[in-house]
Structure 1
Amino acid sequence: MAIQSSQQDGEALKPQHVEIKAPILYITTLFQSTGASLIWPIATLYMHNVLHETMTMAGMVVMGLSIMMMIGSWVGGHLFDRWNPYKSILGAVALATAMLAALTFWHSWPVFAIFMLILGFADGIIYTLLNSYAATIQSIDSRKVFNLQYLFMNVGVVVGTAIVGFLFNHGVQFVFGGATIMYLIFSVMVFRFFNLKGLAAQATKDAAKAAKSNFRTPVLIYALLGLAFSLYMGYILWETVVATHMTDLGMTTQDYSFLWTINGIVIIVGQGLLDRIIEKLPFRLTVLGGTALFAVSFLFLMNAKTYPMFIFTFMILTIGEMFASPQMPAWIDHISDPNAKGRAQGFMTMAISLGRAVGPLYGGLMIDGGSYKALFASMFGIMMLFVVVTFILDRASRRRKRRLAN
């Protein structure tokens, strides 16, 4: 939607603003998330059980995937700010779709790993560009925009994880074929609706302004990047280490997978309710409170021995995630350089990818050298450290603003 600037009453210098339509953003996020959610749950399982690679090798590929996503995130941020947003996302989606189509027919070792790494790079660009497009929306409160985008992303996760087991039982080619279909629909929507007239020019002007700008990046942004890093470092442990921990305690893989089904349902229902009040809640309450609650789940995890206790612990994590995850990019957007939205979202996605890359390695080292309890206790400490640092910096920032206002 383009908001034309007036030529009267001294408003001639007001720049034209271009933004993506929110419903289009949400629907494309849904299809992208569904496609991606068909891949990540079976990647390690496929490499170890079907391709007969070691868990160490599978872990290295997963780490490489996260690193490639991190590189893609950095590239995506620069492409949005300095080149053409539409051509950037169209190219990235085309690359990702091509890799999924190729995996449908060629998925032996090491071709599988190579194609997955390229897919990770493309997805890193896509995630950053989707967030950057979301950041262009000014007609809706940014907290509500990112909250609803997160909601649709989780609907995609529920749909993808619900059907991936059925497809995998019939052959891995059906998993990659299903993901390819989702990305083809995603590609069509990007081609049809993301070519916003004036957005490339707006991005170019913003990049020029950012280059000349004396905007000083708040230290608070770096604290928020650290917070995102710690949150997703803990999150990836639930996707990897906790599964092994639960089976060691006598629970089944079905018990573990059911946790994610509950997680998705609670987020879909809860996020819809939260959307009604999100604009009234300050960032420090949603992000810091949610992250603290997420961290507390690791304290309960230290003593979880039964399945009901794991469900209770995961509910604590889910509620914390529901408040913190969608509001982190919104807070970053709120305090970053208005002329460098893509770069800010790129850094955010890089921090997330770095956390997901470091988490499995850190978890393995802590378990080999200590215990599960030591790992969970240390994660609580790491996350709370970033919560406290971010709280202190945010408080100092608000005090400084009050002094300047007076």
Structure 2
Amino acid sequence: MQIHPTTDDEASKPYHVEVEPRVLYIATLIQSTGASLLWPITTLYMHDELHETMTTTGIVLMGMSLMMMLGSWLGGQLFDRWHPYKAIVTAVIFATAILTTLTLQHSWPAFAGLLMLTGLADGAIYTLLNAYTATVTSRDSRQVFNMQYLFMNVGVVLGTLTVGFLFDHGAKLVFGTATAMYVIFSVLVILTFNVPGMTKQAARSAAKAARSTFKPPFLIYILLGLTFSLYLGYILWETVIATHMIALGLTTQDYSMLWTINGIVIIIGQVILNRFLADVSFKLTVLGGTTLFAISFIFLMFARTYTDFLVAFLILTVGELLASPQIPAWIDAIGNPNAKGQEQGYVTMMISFGRALGPFYGGVMIDHGSYKLLFFSIFGLLMGFSILSWLVDNRLKMAHKKARSSQ
């Protein structure tokens, strides 16, 4: 919490300019748990219950990711140019209404349309939560983003562990439980996210942004490309790698266990990492993590046993927990202070774009090449963006040093 006195009698009253970080973490946990009840069963439900083809299922999932991109952009614009509190309340109420409808009506093709609308709402929510996180100044931004990422992954673990039991009792119970989580999320947002000072600050920031001559450093665009590449590779673990493992004689239980281990490693790793973040640069955490992430795909090229896949996934997981939560914090640190919503919107857009394109890219590379070629191409893409980020960051720092020395 920050207190900003002014000379005006009415405006001189103390006001908050940030949401309490603990509230952000709890909100992220609840939303993530609700969302994680849906995505693990989407393909299974459409294929086995609604009897749609895998091609149709893939098109619907790509459409959902594209709608999340649109929602991410819209959330950023609303945060910066309209009203942060009204924006997030509108988004969560819209999401809750869609999930309520989905619980009552989940036949084809209503299911596909409602799923895409859920993607639109969730895309806006992810951006708005990140934008709220970016406004926290009472604590180190890297730690705040890291803790938010931790609670998001705890929600993923809770949701994915619960959904198997719920789905055995019918899809309606899954959708109803997800709706209940979003109802709780909505109440929490309505009661705690109305920060008076943030509204005034957002209005001032919008006015400053309109007059601003700030030019985003080229490094931001490189980091957005890096974000896209990370999630282009990450989505392969949720799609084509599962098929690859089963073709090699492994079981779906083997594959599911990898995700359980992934969640546990991320939760423990984030707690440990948070103790050392203040002493580690963005460059080292993000680019070091990306390098590990890329190396995991070299291991995948030669993976044949469960142990091979486990080692590859552990390397990827460590790389993920180093890089993923720090990219939005790095962009926030070098970006326009008057356009936090838009910048975080671009981050979530690139996440959604990578997730949307990944399955298609993986399918094309496998059909016209091989798994080895696919994995090596991801390695090359990630390392290319890592090297480019390193070089551009060095040039940016050298330019700042010259500017300071000339003053």
- Please give the range of the TM-score, normalised by the shorter of the 2 chains: over 0.9
* Structure 2 contact 15–196 (Cα < 8 Å) conserved: no
TM-score normalised by the chain length of structure 2: 0.97
Q: Does 1:142 align with 2:137?
A: no
Instruction: Report the AA paired with residue 338 of structure 1.
Output: P
Q: Which residue is equivalent to 2:303?
A: 304
For residues 188 and 388 of structure 1, what CA distance do their matches in structure 2 show?
45
Q: Which residue is equivalent to 2:343?
A: 344
Residue 267 (structure 1) shift = 0.6
Residue 198 (structure 1) shift = 2.5
Q: Which residue is equivalent to 2:397?
A: 398
Cα deviation code 1:108-129 (max 9, x no counterpart):
1111100000000000000000
Residue 17 (structure 1) shift = 6.7
Residue 155 (structure 1) shift = 0.4
Residue 327 (structure 1) shift = 0.2
Q: Which residue is equivalent to 1:365?
A: 364
Instruction: Report the AA paired with residue 65 of structure 2.
Output: S
Instruction: Report the AA paired with residue 196 of structure 1.
Output: V
Q: Which residue is equivalent to 1:284?
A: 283
Residue 388 (structure 1) shift = 1.0
Q: Which residue is equivalent to 2:4?
A: 4
Q: Which residue is equivalent to 1:248?
A: 247
TM-score normalised by the chain length of structure 1: 0.97
Residue 103 (structure 1) shift = 1.3
For residues 323 and 228 of structure 2, what CA distance do their matches in structure 1 show?
12
- Of 395-404 and 133-142, deviating more is 395-404
* Structure 1 contact 26–149 (Cα < 8 Å) conserved: yes
Q: Which residue is equivalent to 2:330?
A: 331
Q: Which residue is equivalent to 1:374?
A: 373
Q: Which residue is equivalent to 1:82?
A: 81
Instruction: Report the AA paired with residue 3 of structure 1.
Output: I
* Structure 2 contact 292–315 (Cα < 8 Å) conserved: yes
Q: Which residue is equivalent to 2:166?
A: 167
Residue 106 (structure 1) shift = 1.0
Q: Which residue is equivalent to 1:195?
A: 194
- Of 293-302 and 196-205, deviating more is 196-205
Instruction: Report the AA paired with residue 152 of structure 1.
Output: F
Q: Which residue is equivalent to 1:92?
A: 91
* Structure 2 contact 92–125 (Cα < 8 Å) conserved: yes
Change (3 A) 1:17 1:182: closer
Residue 330 (structure 1) shift = 0.2
Q: Does 1:24 align with 2:23?
A: yes
Task: State the 4+ residue runs in structure 1 displaced beyond 2 angstroms.
Answer: none
Give structure 2 stretches of 5+ with no counterpart: none
- Residue correspondence of structure 1 range 114-129 to structure 2 within 5 A: 114-129=113-128
Instruction: Report the AA paired with residue 5 of structure 2.
Output: S
Residue 401 (structure 1) shift = 1.1
Change (3 A) 1:17 1:181: closer
Residue 334 (structure 1) shift = 0.3
Residue 157 (structure 1) shift = 0.5
Residue 297 (structure 1) shift = 0.5
Instruction: Report the AA paired with residue 4 of structure 1.
Output: H
Residue 6 (structure 1) shift = 6.0
For residues 51 and 301 of structure 1, what CA distance do their matches in structure 2 show?
34
Residue 211 (structure 1) shift = 1.1
Instruction: Report the AA paired with residue 123 of structure 2.
Output: G
Residue 404 (structure 1) shift = 1.5
Secondary structure of the 1:400 match is helix
For residues 3 and 25 of structure 1, what CA distance do their matches in structure 2 show?
20
- Residue correspondence of structure 1 range 209-228 to structure 2 within 5 A: 209-228=208-227
* Structure 1 contact 76–342 (Cα < 8 Å) conserved: yes
Instruction: Report the AA paired with residue 261 of structure 1.
Output: T
For residues 159 and 240 of structure 2, what CA distance do their matches in structure 1 show?
22
- Of 319-328 and 99-108, deviating more is 99-108
Secondary structure of the 1:42 match is helix
For residues 16 and 335 of structure 1, what CA distance do their matches in structure 2 show?
27
For residues 83 and 271 of structure 2, what CA distance do their matches in structure 1 show?
33
Q: Which residue is equivalent to 1:234?
A: 233
Residue 2 (structure 1) shift = 4.0
Q: Does 1:185 align with 2:184?
A: yes
Cα deviation code 1:358-386 (max 9, x no counterpart):
11110011011111111111111111111
* Structure 1 contact 81–341 (Cα < 8 Å) conserved: yes
* Structure 1 contact 18–199 (Cα < 8 Å) conserved: yes
Secondary structure of the 2:108 match is coil
Cα deviation code 1:303-326 (max 9, x no counterpart):
100001111110000000010000
For residues 377 and 120 of structure 1, what CA distance do their matches in structure 2 show?
31
Instruction: Report the AA paired with residue 114 of structure 2.
Output: F
Residue 201 (structure 1) shift = 2.1
- Residue correspondence of structure 1 range 263-274 to structure 2 within 5 A: 263-274=262-273
Secondary structure of the 2:275 match is coil
* Structure 1 contact 83–200 (Cα < 8 Å) conserved: no
Residue 5 (structure 1) shift = 3.3
Cα deviation code 1:143-167 (max 9, x no counterpart):
0000000000000011000011111
Cα deviation code 1:196-247 (max 9, x no counterpart):
1132221121011011011111000000000000000101111111111111
Q: Which residue is equivalent to 2:387?
A: 388
For residues 102 and 73 of structure 1, what CA distance do their matches in structure 2 show?
22
Q: Which residue is equivalent to 2:63?
A: 64
Q: Which residue is equivalent to 1:38?
A: 37
Secondary structure of the 1:3 match is coil
Secondary structure of the 1:300 match is helix
Q: Which residue is equivalent to 1:153?
A: 152
Instruction: Report the AA paired with residue 325 of structure 1.
Output: S
- Of 16-25 and 332-341, deviating more is 16-25
